[in-house]
């Protein structure tokens, strides 16, 4: 699974080993010794990873901070299309009534600066009824959703005000049913019928749309507008789905999305078994991004949202989608620096070798970003050696081994 390259040298520095490790964190080809180890130096070994396993995951996309809506044909990553779903609250007081002249309106809050795609075009959207039951806390990418043909509302993101709010009149059969249920005096009857008879609304991008926007349903409201006052009700449930039509694979490259439809699985036991020296002081996993393609593949007015980093989760997980999206157990973070993501593996390997911990699976994936849509193009195991995924091992070597 690995190929090994070695480099070593010896210097004398008035530092402890802990300080030594810290100084080596950002350099792969620097090797040093310490003043109280008179006959030793630091050996640096590079172990190239020869194979990885791609694992498909069905992510949770319900009740996240942001919900994607729109479509964009990314020149590098392919076409993506987001449909947002929501269901307004109906927790009315017994004295509240929707009169005939009152209007139902969605005040949709959209993030102003966060756009994936062409920043110069306006995205157009249509609103339809959902015709099947669904629940945000358990909503996954694969959740089946059915939509009616009746147009309930429409809008363009160019209608957003300075606060990022878009006011969308809602009508049709959904308006009639919501009014009827809202005006029921008995709370239990109202809520039961609402749960069983209405499944909410979908925001669908209208062709052609060439950007993806991000709504925050937690701060959006259903407004009931009268002649003199307006009542406001929250959104009780929301989710979104993505459709992807990816481009042809690029040789020696690996594309990962922060919605982790696919993640990388690493074999930690094979890594431990092939360490050149178990007396190591630092072990680091390094993966690299193809920054050239990343920064040169967009059009003049097109932008992407940055992926802030990667995570490596180590453990025997029952629900991979929950671990990647919501859990912070057994996580090692890797943040970008000059196109490299680095992961401190020393603790993991030491526990494997010295504490007799059971061997666990390890998964590499981008941060989810709470609903934002982002991707990375990484160098694969077949790329040229300087860019391939690799382990950097710093270990103490005796004078006899020099």
What are 30-85's pLDDT values in tens digits? Answer: 333 333 333 357 888 899 998 889 999 999 999 999 999 999 999 999 999 999 99
60 within domain boundaries: no
Is 119 within 8 Å of 302 (Cβ atoms)?
yes
> Does residue 118 carry a pLDDT above 90?
yes
User: Do 328 and 281 fall into the same domain?
Assistant: yes
Interval 158-187 mean pLDDT = 95
Same domain flag for 270 and 374: yes
Q: Is the Cβ–Cβ distance between 116 and 192 less than 8 Å? A: no
Both 318 and 221 in one domain: the answer is no
Is residue 270 very low, low, confident or very high in pLDDT (cuts 50, 70, 90)? confident
Per-residue pLDDT for 18 more than 60? Answer: no
What is the average pLDDT across 131-157? 97
Q: Which domain holds residue 366?
A: 2-51+249-401
Q: Which residues make beta-bridge pairs with 83? A: 241
pLDDT score of 157 more than 80: yes
Residue ending a domain, among 196, 226, 245, is 245
The pLDDT value given to residue 64: 96
Nearest of 339, 327, 342 to residue 379 by alpha carbon: 339
Q: For the residues 162-173, what does the mean pLDDT come to?
A: 96
Indicate if 45 and 102 belong to the same structural domain.
no
Flag whether 58 is in a domain: no
- Judged against a pLDDT cut of 80, whether residue 9 lies above it is answered with no
Q: Which of 271-280, 286-295, 370-379 has the lowest mean pLDDT?
A: 271-280
Structural domain count of the chain = 2
Write the pLDDT tens digit of every residue in 231-263: 999 999 999 999 999 999 999 999 999 988 899
Predicted local confidence at residue 6, as pLDDT? 42
- Rounded Cα–Cα distance for residues 371 and 398 (Å): 51
For residues 144 and 241, membership in a common domain is answered with yes
Q: How far apart are CA 280 and CA 271, in angstroms?
A: 13
Q: Among 1-5, 87-91, 109-113, 326-330, which is the least confidently predicted range? A: 1-5
Same domain, 206 and 317: no
Q: Which of 108-144 are b and which e, b meaning 16 or more Cβ less than 10 Å from the residue's Cβ?
A: bbbbeebbbbbeeeebbbebbbbeeebebeebebebe
74 and 211 belong to one structural domain = yes
Confidence of residue 374 (pLDDT cuts 50, 70, 90): very high
Question: Which of the two residues, 399 and 283, has the higher pLDDT score?
Answer: 283
Q: What is the DSSP string of 121-154?
A: S--EEEEEEE-S---GGG-BTT----EEEEEEEE
Q: Is residue 59 one of the residues assigned to a domain?
A: no
Residue scoring higher pLDDT (101 or 316): 101
Q: Which is more confidently placed, 298 or 3?
A: 298
Distance (Å, whole) CA 45 – CA 276? 7
Rounded to whole angstroms, the Cα distance separating 325 from 370 reads 8
Tell me how crowded residue 271 is: count the other CB atoms within 10 A of its CB: 22
Give the chain's end-to-end CA distance (angstroms, integer). Answer: 26
Q: Is 286 a residue whose pLDDT tops 80?
A: yes
pLDDT at 95: 63
Asked if 176 and 315 sit in the same domain, the reply is: no
* Residue 382 placed within a domain: yes
Q: Which of 245, 272, 292 is the last residue of a domain?
A: 245
Q: Of 385, 374, 313, 392, which Cα lies nearest the Cα of 117?
A: 374
**Cβ–Cβ under 8 Å, residues 235 and 87:** yes
Q: Are residues 322 and 389 in the same domain?
A: yes
Q: What angle do CA 119, 120, 122 make, to 5 degrees?
A: 90
The closest of 233, 195, 199 to 106, measured between CA atoms, is 233
Residue 12 within a domain: yes
Instruction: Of 41-45, 59-63, 183-187, 320-324, give the lowest mean pLDDT range.
Output: 41-45
Phi, psi of 183 (to 5 degrees): -85, 5
Q: What is the pLDDT of residue 94?
A: 62
User: Is 5's pLDDT higher than 80?
Assistant: no
For 246, residues 6+ apart whose C-beta sits below 8 A from its C-beta are 77, 78, 79, 255
Q: What percent of the chain has pLDDT over 90?
A: 63
In this predicted model, which residue has the larger pLDDT, 53 or 23? 53
Residue 61 in any domain: the answer is: no
- pLDDT for 92 beyond 80: no
Do 290 and 342 fall into the same domain?
Answer: yes
230 and 89 assigned to the same domain: yes
Mean pLDDT comparison of 110-119, 343-352, 366-375, highest-scoring range: 110-119
In a shared domain, residues 234 and 127: yes
As a whole number of angstroms, the distance between CA 327 and CA 273 comes to: 29
Return the DSSP state at 371.
G
Domain finish residue from 196, 227, 245:
245
The average pLDDT across 334-347 equals: 90
Task: Give pTM, 2 decimals.
Answer: 0.87
Per residue in 200-229, pLDDT tens? 999 999 988 899 999 999 999 999 999 888
């Amino acid at each position: 699974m690995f190929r090994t390259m070695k480099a070593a040298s010896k210097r004398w520095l008035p530092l402890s080993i802990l300080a030594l490790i810290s100084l080596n964190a950002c350099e792969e080809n620097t090797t040093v010794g310490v003043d109280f180890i008179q006959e030793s130096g630091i050996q640096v070994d590079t172990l190239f990873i020869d194979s990885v396993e791609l694992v498909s995951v069905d992510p949770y996309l319900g009740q996240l901070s942001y919900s994607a809506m729109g479509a964009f044909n990314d020149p590098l990553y392919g076409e993506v299309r987001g449909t947002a779903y929501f269901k307004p609250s109906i927790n009315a007081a017994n004295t509240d009534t929707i009169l005939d002249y009152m209007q139902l309106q969605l005040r949709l809050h959209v993030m102003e600066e966060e756009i994936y795609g062409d920043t110069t075009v306006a995205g157009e959207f249509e609103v339809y009824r959902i015709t099947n039951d669904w629940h945000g806390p358990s909503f996954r990418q694969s959740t089946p959703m059915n939509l009616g043909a009746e147009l309930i509302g429409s809008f363009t993101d160019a209608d957003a005000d300075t606060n990022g709010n878009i006011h969308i009149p809602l009508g049709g059969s959904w308006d009639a049913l919501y009014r009827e249920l809202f005006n029921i005096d008995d709370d239990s009857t109202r809520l039961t019928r609402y749960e069983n008879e209405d499944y909410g609304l979908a925001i669908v991008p209208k062709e052609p749309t060439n950007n993806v926007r991000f709504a925050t349903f937690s701060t959006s409201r259903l407004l009931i507008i009268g002649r003199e006052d307006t009542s406001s009700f929250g959104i009780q449930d929301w989710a979104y789905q993505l459709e992807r039509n990816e481009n042809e694979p690029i040789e020696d490259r690996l594309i990962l999305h922060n919605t982790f439809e696919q993640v990388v699985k690493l074999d930690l036991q094979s890594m431990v078994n092939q360490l050149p020296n178990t007396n190591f002081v630092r072990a680091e996993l390094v993966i690299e991004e193809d920054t050239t393609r990343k920064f040169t593949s967009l059009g003049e007015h097109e932008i992407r949202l940055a992926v802030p980093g990667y995570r490596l989760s180590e453990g025997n997980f029952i629900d991979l989608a929950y671990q990647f999206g919501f859990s912070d157990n057994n996580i090692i973070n890797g943040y970008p620096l000059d196109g490299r993501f680095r992961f401190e593996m020393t603790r993991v390997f030491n526990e494997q070798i010295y504490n007799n911990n059971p061997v666990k699976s390890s998964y590499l994936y981008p941060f989810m970003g709470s609903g934002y849509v982002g991707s990375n193009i990484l160098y694969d195991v077949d790329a040229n050696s300087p860019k391939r995924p690799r382990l950097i091992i710093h270990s103490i070597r005796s004078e006899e081994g020099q």
